[in-house]
């Protein structure tokens, strides 16, 4: 395979992965929005506190898994992949394997709004 074809394949794969990430982010934001509006009167702080079962102000992998189940994202076969994907994408500052309110709620909406994906 020459370099040009290799490069095109790489770019194609990169676009495919990004498109799929965008769709997942859009699905997550829309499901979260619907859930919070229905169950917590649109109050994301109340919802975050509800998802934070051990009340340490962070959402760990187990809490995220339960939250995704409640907002209707993924299923028993895919939810672990969702948790890993969300952690890889959003656990940034600080990278501590738990999500703060800013990392989970503010960042997902910021990214979705800035890329016009809502």
Site string for Ca ion, 40-69 (x = CB under 5 A): ------------x-x-x-x-----------
Closest distance between Ca ion and the C-beta of residue 20, in Å? Answer: 28
Task: Give whichever of 21 and 66 is closer to Ca ion, judged by the CB atom.
Answer: 66
Task: Give whichever of 27 and 50 is closer to Ca ion, judged by the CB atom.
Answer: 50
Residue 97: closest CA among 50, 59, 54, 53: 59
CA dist., res. 17 & res. 104, Å (int): 21
Residues 4-43 that bind Ca ion (CB under 5 A): none
At 50, list the tokens: 């509800």
Hey, what long-range contacts does 72-79 have (CB within 8 A, 24 or more apart)? 72/31, 72/35, 73/27, 73/28, 73/31, 73/32
Task: Give whichever of 43 and 56 is closer to Ca ion, judged by the CB atom.
Answer: 56
Binding site for Ca ion (CB under 5 A): 52, 54, 56, 58
């Amino acid at each position: 395979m020459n370099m040009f074809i290799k490069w095109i394949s790489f770019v194609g794969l990169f676009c495919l992965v990004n498109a799929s990430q965008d769709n997942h982010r859009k699905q997550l934001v829309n499901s979260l929005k619907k859930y919070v509006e229905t169950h917590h009167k649109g109050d994301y702080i109340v919802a975050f506190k509800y998802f934070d079962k051990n009340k340490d102000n962070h959402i760990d992998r187990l809490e995220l898994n339960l939250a995704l189940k409640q907002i209707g994202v993924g299923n028993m076969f895919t939810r672990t992949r969702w948790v890993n994907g969300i952690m890889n994408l959003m656990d940034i500052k600080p990278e501590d394997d738990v999500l703060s309110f800013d990392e989970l709620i503010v960042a997902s909406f910021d990214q979705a709004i800035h890329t016009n994906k809502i």
